[in-house]
A and B are shown apart, each in its own frame.
Chain A
Amino acid sequence: MAAVALSSGPEHAPLHTISILVQNKPGVLVRVALVFSRRGYNIESLVVSADAANAQFSRMTITCSGQPETLEQIIKQVTKLIDVVHAFDHTGQAVIETETALVKLKCKLDERTEILQISEQYNAKVVDYGPDSLVLRLYGVSAKLDAFFELLQPFNIVELMRSGKILMARGLETT
């Protein structure tokens, strides 16, 4: 299970984003992960956090890749877990999604201007400014992050971390 990886999955295996509301009980993450691994699904990213509105529950957002026909089973088997309140596949739905990334670059003085120009275009914020390094923070939809990192490829990327995607349904619909 890759904890966080780039958002492009293996070929022929489209990415799915699933949101799961679970009871905040020990072992619930393992139970959910086992459903995916038993059926050959690769978890590309996984975000878990307490439900800020109700400490009894936690939220999971899972981006995963695998055969689409298996996905219906995975959703049902996840839903069947006693500690899972509900699980929804949001693939293809109009939802609000966001991801955060941090990137550390080693850069000489003459490279800085270009990096900062790219950052400005993408609304990336400089969070650490060193004599020969920069740390940038960027958030937005995963595709935007992909494009940003593509532009940074010519430069010396020391570290790159992505949080994994979180999402929320639009309007009054709950996630």
Chain B
Amino acid sequence: MPTASAPPTTAHDASHARDAAKSAPAPTLGKAQTGAEALIRCLEREGVEYVFGLSGGAAMPIFDALVDSKIKLILVRHEQGATHMADGYARATGKPGVVLVTSGPGATNTVTGMLTALMDSAPMIVLTGQTISPMLGKDAFQEADVTGITYPVVKHSYLVKNPNDIPRITREAFFLATSGRPGPVLIDLPKDITSAPCTAPLTDKVDLPGYSVPGHPDTDALKKAAALIARSRKPVLYVGHGAVISGAGEAIIALAEKLNAPIVNTLLGKGACAEDHPLHQGMLGMHGTAYANKTVAGCDMIMSIGARWDDRITGKLSEFCVGATKIHVDIDPAEFNKIVRPDVCLAGDARLSIEDLLPLVGKLDTADWLKQIGEWRKQFPLKYAKKGGLRAQHVLDRLDKLGGRDSIITTDVGQHQMWAAQFCLTTKNRHWISSGGAGTMGFGLPSAIGAQFARPKAKVWTVCGDGGFQMTMPELATAALHKLPVKILIINNAYLGMVRQWQELFFDNRLSGVDLEGNPDFVKLAGAYGIKAWRIKRPSEVDRIIKAAMAYDEGPCLIDAEVIKEDNVFPMIPAGAALKDMIIEKPKQKMAKPEGST
């Protein structure tokens, strides 16, 4: 059984911190150091720049130790905000985001953020204060069984019982969070442990006999994949978040160009390969482009590169790519045979796998196939009505054209997210940050704040709905305090629009729990935080205000785009329906209730 003593062969951005750590000799700690001080030395050694956190009693020794560190503490207004900031920081860089909170409710408020990071494979370290060890399990003030509560939402977790374990546990936590398939790792730190002396030296050694990181895929599997590809006349490369994480974009473009094969990407795969490349058909899935879905439905070979055949992608599984050869590249072997049974599975890093595959394949005869796809593109373009008031699609289309394509865009969850995915093309890796697997509302603003800390010179936009924005809105204070030039675009239809869309289409328009009457005036709200803000009410105002926001860099700014209330996202594949049952525009007749999950 291979052990995990080697540095990660994947997620090169993530290995940066470790390389820096390796070059420095392992210093021994002074005897007077506390567990908390040792922890902070460990974080410094891992290359941590920022800790996103909210203080509290059980975490006080750690917050105290931060005072003497060059690590910058970003004080948030709610712990969920801290997790999404760390997540945005992580996704914008590949480096792990670090969260520091207190025990009990402080820790439980990180659960949503860890689920979000786990579902989307984002590296994150969550440090939670805990009551003193003799009081564990005795219902002490602000005590919660945090490791117990969080088992299902972490890649791994630790409850520290000896201060001398802190250097090893911290090294293991960073290694686990960033290597292989990244994810959140939690360290629960009782206050007596962080207060006690730690005499153990900082260490590079990890003790993880049950953990191994796939690098290059198996040679026989590569040959088999190459042989299957050679037979294909209607191939498609289906690119997911794994390609973003491993930086496989260049290799995938090279493969697509060599094969003459079209590319589609998932919501989270946006940016791995430039979406304006001539072979790129955009996003597939429930609200993907019609031509991407027709390409997948009509292909004779589909190769998943770091994507997991999610139910938002496959639709009705029994009708998904029936008869097509399936190849699956994934660094997590547990994804193989989970949803579909591929003809060949390549367990390995996405970039290394594609680079290994490149010399084994040649040009395919895909002229007819590409011609067909070109016709679909002409026949079923993404479109929206140009009349009848201000439309979200219009705002996002203009954002794309006025510099959005060179910006980092984070989103919240809902209709605006799908419209942004459709109309804001992503051309650079790690420029699209969105909660995919968990679909966590409230992700947009804090993830943009984290991304802006990570990439201070980049233009960072967050596209939010009025619903999700209000879930983590208090982080406006965090953005304002640090004068972060985050640009907040609220697509405001005063509805929880995606659910309203479903109620309209599938539930006889019986609206229930979707009307957001009582929304604040977002422009005035921004003003209360000293944040520059504009309101867009008419299509004629869109360009001027987007340009003004793009040029504004004195601090955060906000656009409240009051769009028409009852617009729907199309194309749409109802949950559980087959790709061929995609709806291009609003149907005339009432539709059956979807069978698929949510």
Contact = CB atoms under 8 A, between A and B. Distances in A.
B10 to A, nearest CB: 16
B385 interface: no
B1 A85 contact: yes
A23 B334 contact: no
Given A31-B151, A82-B210, A82-B211, A76 B333 contact: yes
A76 B334 contact: yes
A73 B208 CA distance: 22
Most buried by A among B151, B210, B336, B337: B210
Interface residues of B, number: 20
Interface string A57-96: 0000000000000001100110111111110000000000
B9 interface: no
Interface in B336-381: 336-338
A82 B334 contact: no
A122 B155 CA distance: 48
B156 A80 contact: no
B209 A80 contact: no
B210 A83 contact: yes
B1 A82 contact: no
A83 B4 CA distance: 12
A34 B151 contact: yes
**Which of B155, B209, B211 has the largest number of chain A CB atoms within 10 A?**
B209
A34 B209 CA distance: 21
B152 A38 contact: yes
B147 interface: yes
Contacts of B333: 76
A72 B336 CA distance: 10
A77 B208 CA distance: 17
B308 to A, nearest CB: 13
A34 B211 contact: no
Contacts of A56: 209
Nearest to A81: B210
B313 to A, nearest CB: 18
A34 B210 contact: no
A72 B335 CA distance: 11
Interface size class of A (residues with CB under 8 A): 20 to 34
A31 B159 CA distance: 14
A30 interface: yes
Contact of A73 (B148, B211, B338): B338
B252 interface: no
Contact of B209 (A38, A81, A85): A85
- Most B CB atoms within 10 A — which of A31, A38, A80, A86? A80
A27 B1 CA distance: 22
B159 A84 contact: no
B332 interface: yes
Contacts of B152: 34, 38
A77 B334 contact: yes
Given A26-B159, A85-B210, A80 B148 contact: no
A85 B210 CA distance: 4
Nearest to A77: B334
A72 B334 CA distance: 9
B549 interface: no
Contact of B159 (A27, A83, A86): A27
Name which of A26, A34, A82, A86 has the most chain B CB atoms within 10 A of its CB: A82
A73 to B, nearest CB: 6
B23 to A, nearest CB: 27
A22 interface: yes
Nearest to B335: A76
Given A38-B152, A72-B337, A82-B176, A23 B332 contact: no
A86 B333 CA distance: 14
Contacts of B159: 26-27
B161 to A, nearest CB: 8
A63 to B, nearest CB: 22
Contact of A27 (B147, B208, B209): B147
B337 A82 contact: no
Interface in B150-176: 151-152, 155-157, 159, 176
Given A26-B159, A72-B337, A73-B334, A84 B210 contact: yes
A22 B337 contact: no
Contacts of A79: 334
Interface in B92-143: none
A82 B208 contact: yes
A57 to B, nearest CB: 8
B155 A82 contact: yes
A89 B575 CA distance: 35
Contacts of B155: 82
A87 to B, nearest CB: 10
A44 to B, nearest CB: 22
A26 B157 CA distance: 10
A27 B151 CA distance: 9
A81 B208 CA distance: 11
A151 to B, nearest CB: 43
Nearest to B155: A82
Contact of B151 (A30, A76, A80): A30
A82 B332 CA distance: 13
Interface in A90-148: none
Nearest to B337: A72
A86 B3 CA distance: 12
A31 B157 CA distance: 10
A144 to B, nearest CB: 34
Contacts of B1: 85-86
Nearest to B209: A85
Contacts of A83: 156, 210
A22 B163 CA distance: 24
Interface string B276-294: 0000000000000000000
Best-surrounded residue of B151, B159, B332, B337 (most CB of chain A within 10 A): B151
Nearest to A30: B151
Contacts of B209: 23, 56, 85
B597 to A, nearest CB: 15
Contacts of B148: 27, 30
Nearest to B333: A76
Nearest to A56: B209
Contacts of A73: 334, 337-338
A141 to B, nearest CB: 29
A30 B150 CA distance: 11
19 contacts: A23-B209, A26-B159, A27-B157, A56-B209, A73-B334, A73-B338, A76-B334, A76-B338, A77-B334, A80-B334, A82-B155, A82-B156, A82-B176, A82-B210, A82-B211, A85-B209, A85-B210, A86-B1, A86-B210
Interface of B: 1, 147-148, 151-152, 155-157, 159, 176, 208-211, 332-334, 336-338
Given A27-B147, A84-B210, 20 more contacts: A22-B210, A23-B209, A27-B148, A30-B148, A34-B152, A38-B152, A73-B338, A76-B333, A76-B334, A79-B334, A80-B332, A82-B155, A82-B156, A82-B208, A82-B210, A83-B210, A85-B1, A85-B210, A86-B1, A86-B210
